[in-house]
Amino acid sequence: MSKSTDEQVNRRDFMKTAIIAIGGVIGGAIGLPAIPYLIGPAQKQDSEDWVRLGAVSKVELNVPTLFKTTIETQTGWINAEEEFSVYVLTENGQDYSVMSNICTHLGCRVRWIPDQESFFCPCHNAVFAKDGTVVAGPPPRPLDQFEYKVEDGFIFVKRG
């Protein structure tokens, strides 16, 4: 009788081991591909830091020129498009100043008023000079400046 009891235990142990092995294979087949899927978006780096605005020839001397472009961003699994707008100013056609069109007070959009040669923010009557410095109103600092580069006749701005 002891021989049959040993065989049943061995058979039972074999079945436990087989079930655990099959479960491990199934779990690995499902789990291993899921790991990159889950952590991949968090690991992704933005390879494109520079955004193409447009041709340098569109910028008039001593007049801030508004450039608008659409940027696709990905946060996790969410893809979104956002409008990115900046003013580009040049006094000599070679050196440029790239300024945000977002007021530093409450984030309203500023617009260039040619008659007054200044930027105006409609939210709280803020006024900025042509170079983005604060002239009047509540903004705590000048308009934000962006790093830029010119390549092949096009102006690029660094996202940040």
Q: From CA 156, how far away is CA 106, in angstroms rounded?
A: 26
Burial environment of residue 108 by CB neighbours within 10 A (0 to 12, 13 to 18, 19 or more) = middle
Q: How much is the mean pLDDT over the chain?
A: 84
| Mean pLDDT along residues 89-113 | 88
pTM of the predicted model as reported, rounded to 2 decimal places: 0.66
For residue 51, pLDDT beyond 90: no
| Mean pLDDT along residues 94-117 | 89
Please give the C-alpha separations between residue 41 and each of 30, 46, 80, 103, in angstroms, as whole numbers: 19, 11, 14, 32
| Mean pLDDT along residues 113-119 | 90
| Mean pLDDT along residues 21-26 | 93
**Residue 43, pLDDT score:** 67
Q: From CA 104, how far away is CA 126, in angstroms rounded?
A: 10
Give the whole-number percent of the chain exceeding pLDDT 90.
Answer: 22
**Residue 74, pLDDT score:** 74
Cα Rg, the chain, nearest whole Å:
31
Closest C-alpha to 53, from 141, 123, 158: 158
